[in-house]
């Protein structure tokens, strides 16, 4: 009996040494920036909207763990990612003119979708030269300044940025077209000119370093899987579209 017990113990030790248990699943925290109507808090107190749906789709193909969704203002979402309080953040737009070495974060290697950025200016004033925007008082959403290669101020919402231009309190406002256009149409703002500033990849922000590379494998792998099935495109079509050259000042409002 003693010999048999010793043999059993030795077998158990050998199995542990040469057949280690699978590494535990890794749960992730996803910060989603508050960008109405694409990411808002629902009446039930839970995050909802198309950006939230993208994270849920990633979660559905990430079988090694669960993803917790936290809805926060854009700047706070980005800050918490950089400080290590989240594993990834969506959405963030990559400006290829800004070197990655100058940023405190990295991007997932697989982009989500291409986005058109529009410069909104007063229609009764001369056009702003796109190569000299640093000479003017141009604004964007707060927390997105590092996305631009020139000094730019931040505002709290799409509506605030559009109204500041319309009232002459800023020279221009640069953001993705969909949310700003929706605000202009809803409030029938007429004295605005739209100019395509640039097209950019909508990306997922991840940490720099080994931790970020691990997260990149998870996120980019999930995005590629979702693209192959067409599931991701069904969601992104509701958020972003190719640039549309319509002009508010030409509308019969």
15 domain residue, yes or no: no
Asked if 235 and 54 touch (Cβ cutoff 8 Å), the reply is: yes
Query: pLDDT value at position 18?
Result: 44
pTM: 0.73
169 domain residue, yes or no: yes
For 88-112, give the DSSP string.
EEEEEEE-TTS-GGGSSSEE-SS--
20 domain residue, yes or no: no
**Alpha-carbon gap, residue 185 to 119, rounded angstroms:** 16
Phi-psi region of 60 (alpha: psi -120 to 50; beta: other; left: phi over 0): alpha
pLDDT band at 155 (very low <50, low <70, confident <90, very high): very high
The per-residue pLDDT for range 71-102, each reduced to its tens digit, is 998 889 989 999 999 999 999 888 777 888 88
Cα-based distances in Å from 161 to 170, 183, 229 = 8, 10, 37
**Alpha-carbon gap, residue 137 to 214, rounded angstroms:** 40
Number of domains in the chain: 1
1 domain residue, yes or no: no
The per-residue pLDDT for range 188-246, each reduced to its tens digit, is 999 999 999 999 899 999 999 999 999 999 999 999 999 999 999 999 999 988 899 99
6 domain residue, yes or no: no
Quote the domain boundaries for residue 109: 25-242
74 domain residue, yes or no: yes
The CATH number of the domain holding residue 99 is: 3.40.190.10
Residue 78 Cα to chain centre, angstroms: 9
118 domain residue, yes or no: yes
140 domain residue, yes or no: yes
Q: Say whether 146 sits in a helix, a strand or coil.
A: helix
């Amino acid at each position: 009996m003693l010999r048999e017990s010793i043999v059993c113990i030795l077998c158990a030790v050998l199995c542990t040494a040469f057949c280690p248990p699978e590494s535990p699943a890794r749960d992730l925290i996803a910060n989603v920036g508050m960008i109405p109507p694409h990411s808002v808090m629902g009446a039930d107190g839970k995050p909802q909207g198309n950006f939230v749906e993208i994270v849920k789709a990633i979660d559905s193909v990430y079988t090694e763990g669960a993803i917790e969704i936290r809805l926060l203002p854009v700047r706070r979402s980005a800050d918490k990612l950089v400080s290590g309080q989240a594993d990834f953040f969506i959405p963030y737009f990559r400006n290829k003119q800004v070197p990655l070495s100058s940023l405190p974060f990295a991007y997932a290697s697989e982009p989500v979708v291409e986005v058109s950025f529009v410069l909104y200016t007063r229609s009764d004033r001369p056009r702003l030269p796109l190569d000299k925007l640093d000479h003017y008082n141009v604004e964007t959403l707060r927390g997105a300044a590092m996305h631009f290669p020139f000094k730019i101020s931040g505002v709290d919402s799409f509506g605030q940025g559009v109204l500041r231009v319309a009232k002459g309190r800023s020279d221009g406002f640069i953001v993705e077209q969909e949310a700003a256009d929706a605000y202009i149409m809803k409030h029938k703002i007429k004295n605005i000119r739209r100019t395509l500033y640039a097209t950019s990849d909508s990306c997922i922000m991840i940490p720099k370093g080994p931790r970020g590379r691990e997260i990149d494998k998870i996120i980019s792998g999930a995005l590629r899987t979702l693209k192959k099935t067409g599931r991701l495109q069904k969601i992104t079509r509701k958020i972003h579209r190719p640039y549309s050259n319509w002009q508010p000042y030409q509308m019969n409002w």
